Structure formats: structure tokens, C-alpha cells
């Protein structure tokens, strides 16, 4: 039977301490050790080449005298509790991104590298020490920021109507529900406009879909430009329908805004198709205003505005009608 023949361990070529100091020199992170009086006893090559301070220059120096701006920082607390209570800590990156004056090699005086720092206490004989490990997280953080910016841009895009550039239906739904909560909380007025381009099918049939798109964009721009307050929201509700959320706006004010939008779109003087009811492109508008008892949620308000819009169409189009709860008759066209 053949025995497993294991190679005999050969004599190490270098002593452990030579190997240790070689490894310390090659490590791709900063390693520093301080004693209980905060004096630097070890400073590896990485720390030297990124701080511009050699080990022989810093050894024996008091850490917080050498790097005064570490005082009052989380790292100072972490070192104190490591040395006093034996507690290890990884410092959150968010608060102080670059505690040590460390720079990417060869870029003195530029921006400090962003650092992840951890602090580990240990004892050797009777002496307490604290190991500080520093890694360069600049590129990770840079990538994270870039991803955040991209995510924010995507989020913003997902709230914009691709054709007209105003808010889309999703944005409108979010804004309406947010403003409804605010209105009921603060007992504040809130109004909603629902509007529809008159005889738009005839426009498309006569001028073609592409010109129809251009007309929609023109109307959207005129509508959005009429809203003056930063909190007002102009949105494309779908197809040739638009909607506006008007916070802090009561019924009388909303009617004025609606009338201004109607007049502005009519004043664009965009020629309509011969089959249309009016010679120029116009809008019909339904108005609904929040009230605590009946029109107190999105569905009720949208229902009232939609009924008013229907009445406006029946009343000849190019007009503004105020929406009422389902059991009340709509007032006549303004």
C-alpha cells in the first residue's frame, strides 16, 4: 500500500517579521497603529505615499497634534472608545468623507480621497493599542453618486409626458393625492381642471396625426404657461385631455384660471378642420373644487370635473363649466 507522501515543510526563506513588514509595505490600504497616548507607532507605506509624510517623520507624534482637524470628529470618539472600552468601530462614510489629509498618489493639494475608516483595539503585553485602517473609496462613492444622478434623471423622465414635455398622468395622480392630503390637513382650498381639445378627431382626420401632435404640444405649452404659481401642476391627462392641480385655489379663482387658459388657447388662432365646431382650435374645461363632505377624494373630484367637461361639450364647447357632486345639477357655462 502506498502512503500519502506529504512534502516536508521546508525552512522559511525569510523570517516572519521580515515578511510582515514586507506585507505592510505592499498593502493596498492605510494601516496605522497608535498607542494609549495616541502616539503613532506604525505607519505603513500606503499612508506615507498618500499623506506625503514618511513613517520616520510621523512615528512618535501624537496623532491629534499631527492631524488637528481629526479633533471633534467621529474618528476621535472612536479612538477614545477603542482605547478606553476596547470597542471596535467602522465609521460611517456619510458624515466625514475624508478625515485624513490623504490624496491620490501624485495629486498633492487637490481633493482629498474619500475614505472608509475602521478602528480596532488590541493589547500587546500590558500596552493598549489601536489599529486604524483606511481605504480609498473615492471611485466607489463616485460611481454611487453617478448612479444616484442617473436614477434621479430616470425618475424625472418617468414623470414627464414624452410628447408635450409637461407632467404626465402619473405625476398628476401623485400631485393630486398629495395636495388632497394637504388640503384636508390644513383645511385649505384645492381645485382641479380637466380639459379636452374640441373636435380633435376632426383635426387629426383633416391635418394628419403628425400635425395633430404638433397642435397638442402647442396647446400644452399655452396651457402650462398660463399657470403662474410654482405649486400649480399642468399635466397631460391622456390623449387630447389635459389636467391642472391648483393648490390653495378656491372655486372662484379656479374659474378665473380656467377662463384664462380657454382664452389663451383660443387666441393661438390655430386653424381647425372644416368639420370642427369652431374655426380655431379650442378647449372645453371642467372645474372641480375640494370640499370636505362630498368632493373629498381624487375619484370624486375627477368625477365632478369630468361631468362638468361633458356638460361643456354639450353646451357647444370652448367654455368652462363647474363640476358638482353627482346628485346636484351643473351650473350653466361661464
Q: Which is nearer to ligand GTP, 82 or 195 (CB)?
A: 195
End-to-end CA distance of the chain: 108
Of the candidates 3, 76, 111, 240, the residue annotated as catalytic is 240
Closer Cβ to ligand GTP, 239 or 331, answer by number: 239
Nearest residue by C-beta to ligand GTP?
212
String marking each residue 225-264 x if it binds ligand GTP according to CB under 6 A: --------------xx------------------------
E strand or H helix that includes residue 306: helix 298-314
Which CB atom, from 203 or from 290, has the smaller least distance to ligand GTP? 203
Among 147, 213, 229, 314, binds ligand GTP (CB under 6 A): 213
DSSP 8-state code for residue 105: T
- Distances in Å between the Cα of 68 and the Cα atoms of 71, 76, 272 are 6, 11, 74
Closest of 257, 253, 273 to residue 194, by C-alpha:
257
CA atoms of 284 and 280, how far apart (whole Å): 13
Say which residues have a Cβ less than 8 Å from residue 217's Cβ, sequence separation at least 6: 163, 164, 165
Contacts of ligand GTP in 189-208 (CB under 6 A): 196-202, 204
Pick from 99, 212, 286, 323 the residue near ligand GTP by CB under 6 A.
Answer: 212
Q: Least Å distance between CB 236 and ligand GTP? A: 9
**DSSP label at residue 67:** S
Piece of the chain touching ligand GTP by CB under 6 A; list 98-106, 173-181, 209-217, 219-227: 209-217
Whether 133 is a known active-site residue: answer no
In whole angstroms, give the CA distance from residue 74 to residue 86. Answer: 16
The one-character DSSP state at 8 is P
Query: Any contact of residue 286 with ligand GTP (CB under 6 A)?
Result: no
What minimum distance in Å lies between the beta carbon of 304 and ligand GTP? 18
Binding residues for ligand GTP, rule CB under 6 A, total 17
DSSP symbols for 147-215: HHHHHHHHHHHTTB-TTTSSB-HHHHHHHHHHHHHHHHHHT--EEEEEEEETTHHHHHHHH-HHHHHHH
Confirm or reject binding of residue 114 to ligand GTP (CB under 6 A): no
Binder of ligand GTP out of 22, 148, 209, 229 (CB under 6 A): 209
6 to 3, 13, 91, 324: CA distances (angstroms): 9, 20, 46, 93
314 binds ligand GTP (CB under 6 A): no
Shortest distance, CB of residue 284 to ligand GTP, whole angstroms? 7
Segment lying near ligand GTP (by CB under 6 A), choices 103-111, 117-125, 167-175, 211-219: 211-219
Rule CB under 6 A: which residues touch ligand GTP? 163, 196-202, 204, 209, 212-213, 216, 239-240, 313, 317
Active-site positions?
240
Amino acid at each position: 500500500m502506498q502512503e500519502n507522501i506529504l512534502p516536508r515543510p521546508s525552512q522559511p526563506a525569510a523570517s516572519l517579521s521580515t515578511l510582515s513588514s514586507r506585507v505592510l509595505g505592499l498593502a493596498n490600504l492605510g494601516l496605522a497603529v497608535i498607542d494609549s497616548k495616541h502616539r503613532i507607532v506604525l505607519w505603513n507605506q500606503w499612508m506615507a505615499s498618500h499623506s506625503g509624510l514618511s513613517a520616520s517623520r510621523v512615528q512618535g507624534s501624537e496623532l491629534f497634534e499631527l492631524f488637528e482637524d481629526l479633533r471633534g470628529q467621529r474618528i476621535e470618539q472612536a479612538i477614545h472608545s477603542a482605547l478606553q472600552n476596547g470597542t471596535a468601530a467602522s465609521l460611517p462614510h456619510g458624515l466625514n468623507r475624508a478625515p485624513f489629509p490623504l490624496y491620490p498618489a501624485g495629486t498633492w493639494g487637490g481633493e482629498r480621497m474619500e475614505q472608509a475608516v475602521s478602528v480596532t483595539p488590541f493589547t500587546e503585553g500590558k500596552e493598549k493599542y489601536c489599529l486604524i485602517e483606511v481605504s480609498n473609496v473615492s471611485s466607489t462613492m463616485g460611481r454611487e453618486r453617478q448612479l444616484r444622478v442617473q436614477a434621479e434623471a430616470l425618475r424625472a423622465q418617468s414623470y414627464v409626458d414624452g410628447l408635450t414635455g409637461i407632467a404626465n398622468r402619473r405625476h398628476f395622480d401623485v400631485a393630486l393625492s398629495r395636495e388632497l392630503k394637504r388640503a384636508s390637513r390644513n383645511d385649505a382650498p384645492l381645485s382641479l381642471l380637466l380639459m379636452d381639445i374640441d373636435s380633435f378627431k376632426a383635426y387629426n382626420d383633416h391635418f394628419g396625426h403628425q400635425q395633430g401632435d404638433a397642435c397638442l404640444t402647442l396647446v400644452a405649452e399655452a396651457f402650462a404657461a398660463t399657470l403662474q404659481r410654482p405649486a400649480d401642476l399642468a399635466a397631460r391627462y391622456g390623449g387630447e385631455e389635459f389636467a391642472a392641480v391648483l393648490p390653495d385655489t378656491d372655486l372662484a379663482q379656479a374659474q378665473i384660471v380656467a377662463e384664462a387658459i380657454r382664452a389663451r388657447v383660443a387666441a393661438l388662432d390655430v386653424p381647425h378642420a372644416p368639420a370642427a365646431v369652431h374655426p380655431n382650435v379650442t378647449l372645453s374645461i371642467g372645474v372641480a373644487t375640494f370640499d370636505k363632505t362630498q368632493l373629498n377624494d381624487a375619484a370624486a373630484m375627477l368625477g365632478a370635473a369630468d361631468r362638468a367637461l361633458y356638460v361643456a361639450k354639450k353646451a357647444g364647447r370652448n367654455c368652462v363649466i363647474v363640476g358638482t357632486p353627482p346628485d346636484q345639477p351643473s351650473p350653466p357655462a361661464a
